[in-house]
Chain A
Amino acid sequence: MNDVVQFESVGLRYGMGPEVLQDVTFALDSGSFHFLVGASGAGKSSLLRLMYLAQRPTRGYISLFGRDVSTTPRDDLPALRRKIGVVFQEFRLLAHMSAFDNVALPLRVANVRESEIKRHVEELLVWVGLKDHMKARPSTLSGGQQQRVAIARAVIARPKLLLADEPTGNVDDHIAQRLMHLFDELNKLGTSIVIATHNEAMVRRSGRKVLKLAGGELRVLDNVADDDSDEFASVFAGDRGRILL
């Protein structure tokens, strides 16, 4: 089996509340590229949290890189997490560390040599246009710059699975296209990518597969055209004001 992610009848509820995800079943192949769409509150972030091992499901089966997450020993979870890059919607950069150190973090926890860290991190920060901000603390960076630092941190360790929550939400068109190009390049190198987004134009333009969440249920669409156009458009209806592309 070549599935990077496999969900079977996964359900998730918080406390005694209603299920935010119901019977979610899907699989992501190695090297796949999906957009995750859904209205606000549809459960996109919850689905991503399950995929980056921040949350255990209430029920169902989740496998990452062929390993049953529920039976994976705790000591083996870091190795799984190192195969996953995450771009958080709220960036989650460490405020007390420079942009360089934030991006270097995944390599440092993996005990990569400092000389290698320096070379890779500098190269990547130059690539995302932050050459002159390597020493800057996140609080001194704009939202777009912080987002690029967060993306650089997510991809620095060449993850096999990249999960991004609204990665182009705070950047201008030019940077957004560069970031999408970066994601494409990573994807060509074999990284499976899931991007949660409200950016309708980006999804339509890409022609990529879509994971559509509605009412806690997931549908996998080969492309936007497979969906009822009105239904698909309704996913974005409330978010048009936020779309930059």
Chain B
Amino acid sequence: MKFRFAGPELPFARDDTTRFLPWLMAFMVFLAALSVAGFFVLGDAARAIDRGIENTVTIQLPAGDNVKADEDRIAGALTMLRAMPGVASAEALNREKIVQLLEPWLGAAARSTEIPLPWVIDVRVDRANAPKAEAIAALLQPYIPGVMVDDHGVWLQALLRAVRSSEWIAIIVVLLNGLAAAATVVFVTRAGMGLHRETIEVMHFVGAHDTYIARQFALRASLLGLKGSVIGVVLAAPALMLLVLLMGNLGFGLLPEIRLGVGTWISIAGLVPVAAAIALVTAHTTVLKSLGRMI
């Protein structure tokens, strides 16, 4: 006669308390995956913005009635700017480039001759020694009335702060999901301990160590966490691809192209073992703490 021990002493197969754990874990991992993707996309955006902040100042010169006179004034302004300390280079944008810049905001109207488009000078400055926007305006104002100096750094800094804050929010969301997953495991484990109290007591009476019992709960929770997190990632992957597709179609000029790189996908896949580990450690700790209160 051959006997085989079918599994752990605790009858988890009959345990209704764990039925929803995989789906709860799947939901939390799904949200975490979106947050992780958001973190990486925001990181890309922050780096792009940071590069923009580096050293550019844009100067707008109001268009006059005479193009030749405008071109003379631009040439004069360029000479003054290039002579200014802290200015690395100053170049006037041609008409086509200006239209391209305005098209995302004005659409086809940007090409209309009815709308008077300003002239634009792109100034590269040495950030360590950059002249203030007010100083540039003061220099040009007597020569070109109505000149406007736009230091990108000021508003890009604000945008960068917003993006960096969003990155932190994404991290916090991931952490909160981890905490919620742990709390769920604690609840399910405690419910399971209540359900299997009789078996646990008998195991204690025959000399089982707390860790022997905790290991069974931990392995069970870990397997359910693994199952749930795989479901969550599998659901998140197409959702993210669809989101990237939709965002790409919006054609924002402000943010860089949204794409999910290998690093992003590896990080999302990494949620699976992390969720399983959270379930394992949480269940093990919960059981040991609860058993510690028994004799």
| Chain A residues within CB distance 8 Å of chain B | 52-56, 74-75, 77-79, 81-82, 86, 92, 94-98, 100-101, 104-106, 108-110, 114, 118, 122, 134-135, 153, 157
Contact = CB atoms under 8 A, between A and B. Distances in A.
Interface residues of B, number: 22
A188 to B, nearest CB: 23
B206 interface: yes
A74 B292 contact: yes
Contact of A94 (B3, B5, B202): B202
A114 B207 contact: no
B295 A109 contact: no
Interface stretch (B109-117, B121-129, B208-216): B208-216
A104 B5 contact: yes
B295 A56 contact: yes
B14 interface: yes
A74 B207 contact: no
A109 B206 contact: yes
Interface string B206-238: 111110100000000000000000000000000
A78 B209 contact: yes
Contacts of A75: 209-210
Contacts of B105: none
Contacts of A104: 5
B208 A109 contact: yes
Given A75-B210, A101-B6, A101-B9, 18 more contacts: A53-B295, A54-B201, A56-B295, A78-B204, A79-B207, A81-B204, A86-B205, A92-B198, A95-B11, A108-B9, A109-B207, A109-B208, A109-B209, A110-B207, A114-B5, A134-B1, A157-B206, A157-B207
23 contacts: A52-B205, A54-B205, A74-B210, A74-B292, A75-B209, A75-B210, A81-B204, A81-B207, A82-B207, A92-B201, A96-B14, A97-B9, A100-B3, A104-B5, A105-B9, A106-B206, A108-B5, A109-B208, A109-B209, A109-B212, A110-B207, A114-B5, A135-B3
Contacts of B206: 81-82, 105-106, 109, 153, 157
A54 B295 contact: yes
A235 B14 CA distance: 43
Nearest to B292: A74
Given A105-B202, A109-B203, A78 B295 contact: no
User: Sorted from nearest, which 3 A-B pairs have the closest CB atoms?
Assistant: A82-B207, A109-B208, A96-B11
A19 to B, nearest CB: 19
B292 A101 contact: no
Interface string B159-191: 000000000000000000000000000000000
Contacts of A157: 206-207
Interface in B1-54: 1, 3, 5-6, 9, 11, 14
B199 interface: yes
A78 B5 contact: no
Contacts of A74: 210, 292
Given A92-B198, A94-B199, A101 B295 contact: no
B208 A78 contact: yes
Nearest to A86: B205
Contacts of B6: 101
A205 B216 CA distance: 46
Nearest to A153: B206
